[in-house]
Amino acid sequence: MIEQSGANEESNEMYEHFRFVVDKGQALLRIDKYLMAKIENASRNRIQNAARAGNILVNDNAIKPNYKVRPQDVISIVLAYPPRDTEIYPENIPVPIVYEDDDLMVINKPPGMVVHPGHGNFTGTLQNALLYHLQQPENANPEVKPYLVHRIDKDTSGILLVAKNELAQSRLAKQFFDHTINRTYVALVWGNIKADQGTITGNIGRDSRNRLIYTVCDEEDKGRHAVTHYTVLERFGYVTLVECRLETGRTHQIRVHFKHIGHPLFNDESYGGAEIVKGTTFTKYRQFVQHCFKLIPRQALHAKSLGFIHPTTRKYIYFDSDYPEDLSGAIEKWRNYSIHKNLEET
């Protein structure tokens, strides 16, 4: 029996998970050879890195690369996402590196930057920029490359974690699989959310009418399980500032979940937030909202913080970021509007 889940277009987490139950008639065989035969395009080095990282469990116990499989063993393996076939060229593109050591980099990605090449974006991506950075004389090492462990949308800003070798990538991928990565997002959403705190649960899959977007699936057996926790930070009447904590990392998860509960992200064109969803019909209000749209010409979503166990030191490290200029400008506009509106009503 084979079960597979993990990295695909429906996930922002860059790993693959496989589960096998070994046949009753299986002869003793090294686990790397067994898994190479079972998993398409899985190299021996990739599997051995997974074992060294503690990502291969047999009967719920981590094993060494020389383990020999036995009949009816239950094998679970988390593999870091393999490098894309697309050749990546270094490009001299400035990118804010918050932290860097021999194993990883923490990036504060600006809005508008695609994370990796593909789907018509073969240049100008974060990976192009990081490859250039890593090939500079002071960094040059043929073994060091930017290995993705997760991704965020093109028009989402904020903290992103990148590994610099396969072993670090494998260990970080396991933390995403185990849901031990702590990450928060901040979003400006339409409407006045009633509860101060809440949880949105709903399987996410592609929209059958528009394959470029996602939706919460009505049927429980469709889509992929997704959970978003939120806390209200500030209320501005017609919009609300919320902090989101993710249990899962589905593509467009926050955007889809808040659309589902009737509070699409401010200026999120794909999910109905790029029009006046809440408010009045007064001309001055429409002009105010249009001005806010110009201030932040994208969905109002920022990956604010990230905490994880360092893959080598095994110490917990945490990174936080300020709001980008466009988001902070829009928040300040709404804050001032809310104050003036309340004064007028008193």
DSSP secondary structure, 90-109, as one string: -------EEEE-SSEEEEEE
Check residue 264 and give its pLDDT.
Answer: 98
Q: Is 6 left (phi over 0), alpha (psi -120 to 50) or beta?
A: left
Give the angle subtended at the CA of 117 by the CAs of 114 and 118, to the nearest 5°: 105
Residue 291 has a CB neighbour count (10 Å cut-off) of 11
Kindly report, as residue ranges, where domains of CATH 3.30.2350.10 are found in the chain.
Answer: 97-178, 182-304+316-345
Reduced to 3 states (helix: H, G, I; strand: E, B; else coil), residue 264 is coil
Can you tell me the mean pLDDT for 62-72?
93
In whole angstroms, give the CA distance from residue 71 to residue 23: 6
Helix segments in the chain, DSSP class H: 31-38, 44-52, 126-134, 166-177, 253-260, 283-295, 325-345
In whole angstroms, give the CA distance from residue 181 to residue 70: 33
pLDDT at position 3 over 80: no
Can you tell me the mean pLDDT for 137-155?
84
In whole angstroms, give the CA distance from residue 91 to residue 131: 7
Question: pLDDT category, 9, cuts 50, 70, 90?
Answer: low
pLDDT at position 120 over 90: no
pLDDT at position 139 over 80: no
CATH of 2-80, one of 2.40.10.120, 3.60.9.10, 3.10.290.10, 2.60.260.20: 3.10.290.10
Give the angle subtended at the CA of 12 by the CAs of 140 and 196, to the nearest 5°: 125
Catalytic one of 32, 73, 103, 153: 153
Check residue 87 and give its pLDDT.
Answer: 77
266 in Cβ contact with 241 (< 8 Å): no
Check residue 91 and give its pLDDT.
Answer: 93
> Any catalytic annotation for residue 153?
yes
pLDDT at position 1 over 50: no
244 in Cβ contact with 228 (< 8 Å): yes
Q: What is the pLDDT of residues 208-232, one digit of tens each?
A: 899 889 999 987 778 999 999 999 9
- Amino acid letter, residue 19: R
In whole angstroms, give the CA distance from residue 334 to residue 31: 58
| 119, HSE (Cβ side, Cα atoms, 13 Å) | 7
Can you tell me the mean pLDDT for 258-264?
97
Question: pLDDT category, 80, cuts 50, 70, 90?
Answer: confident
Kindly report, as residue ranges, where domains of CATH 3.10.290.10 are found in the chain.
Answer: 2-80
In whole angstroms, give the CA distance from residue 18 to residue 281: 54
Q: What is the pLDDT of residues 325-343, one digit of tens each?
A: 999 999 999 999 998 776 5
Q: Which fold has domain 182-304+316-345?
A: Pseudouridine synthase (3.30.2350)
Check residue 84 and give its pLDDT.
Answer: 66
Q: Identify the H or E element spanning 87.
A: none
Reduced to 3 states (helix: H, G, I; strand: E, B; else coil), residue 23 is coil
Helix segments in 63-217, DSSP class H: 126-134, 166-177
CATH of 97-178, one of 3.40.50.2300, 1.10.340.30, 3.40.50.300, 3.30.2350.10: 3.30.2350.10
